[in-house]
Homo-oligomer: A and B are copies of this chain.
Amino acid sequence: MGVKQNILVIPSVLPADFSQLGNAVVELEKAGVDRIQWDVMDGVFVPNLTFGPDTIASARKVTTLGFEAHLMIVDPDQYIEKYVAAGCELLIIHAESTRHLHRTLGRVRQAGAKVGVALNPATPICAIENVVDLLDLILIMTVNPGFGGQAYISTMESKISSAYELANSFSHEIEIEVDGGISSSTVEGAVSAGARTLVAGSSLFKHPDGLEAAVTEIRNLAGQAKRKA
């Protein structure tokens, strides 16, 4: 099957009001998003600290949407089971965060979750060439992780293309996800290069016509770009 072809629009909760995350999640569900991404940052792997398993678990009870945890943390192995227990159906491990990436990804599967891997902007695609058989998702970061609201790095599109080709040579289904600076002006480039799962933050939460319009806009632009590609 190779690359999963459905367009998925997934919010990052970074721009939400953290004092009312439950409300934010409910609003996102109403707006028609496909899943929710939790940007887990530890202040060590990235220069910001956001939230951990208990925050995610607290939001688990207000929605039926799937949750993915984007683990921007050092030494992720020890926390895998906690994020699955918090209600995440998909865990995304940074290739730069573990000396034994193959084992870490295997442990995610063993814990009962789907398996994703993320690459920082500078990390070459070859970092994952030996683990694709373990993957449900490849996340190509289009900003340096740590903060919302950063500008899309368009030179990542060649890496998106490489990820697409690499994933498409496998017989199981793999999502190609992008995260960072995704908005109406960048979605075409990302999708043309091969992205199908689009994480958006500021462009959703700050859209003048509201969340639902924003989600629809991203989805439509992505659909058009995919048909052209």
Neighbouring B residues of A131 by C-beta, 8 Å: 121-122
Cα distance A59–B17 when bound, in Å?
9
Q: Which of B25, B102, B158 contacts A122 (CB 8 A)?
A: B102
Contact with B along A100-138 (1 / 0, CB 8 A): 111101100000000000001111101111110100000
Chain copies in complex: 6
Q: Which of A43, A102, A133 has the most CB of B within 10 A?
A: A43
Is A49's CB under 8 angstroms from B44's CB? Answer: no
User: Nearest CB to that of A55 among chain B residues?
Assistant: B18
Q: How far is A131 from B158 in the complex, measured between Cα atoms in Å?
A: 12
With A122-B131, A133-B155, A155-B130: A51-B42 Cβ-Cβ less than 8 Å: no
Least CB distance, A103 to chain B, in whole angstroms: 4
What are the residues of chain B within 8 A of A133 when measuring CB–CB? 155
- Quick one: CB contact mask for A77-113 with B, threshold 8 Å, 1 for yes? 0110000000000000001100111110110000000
Contacts of A48 in B (CB 8 A): 52-54
Known: A17-B58, A19-B21. A130 touches B156 (CB 8 A): yes
The interface of chain A, by Cβ under 8 A from chain B, is 14, 17-23, 25, 40-55, 57-59, 61-62, 73-75, 78-79, 95-96, 99-103, 105-106, 120-124, 126-131, 133, 144-146, 153, 155-156, 158-159
- With A102-B122, A124-B127 already in contact, 13 other A-B pairs whose C-beta atoms are closer than 8 Å: A18-B54, A20-B23, A40-B49, A43-B79, A44-B74, A44-B75, A49-B49, A51-B55, A99-B120, A100-B120, A102-B121, A102-B153, A103-B121
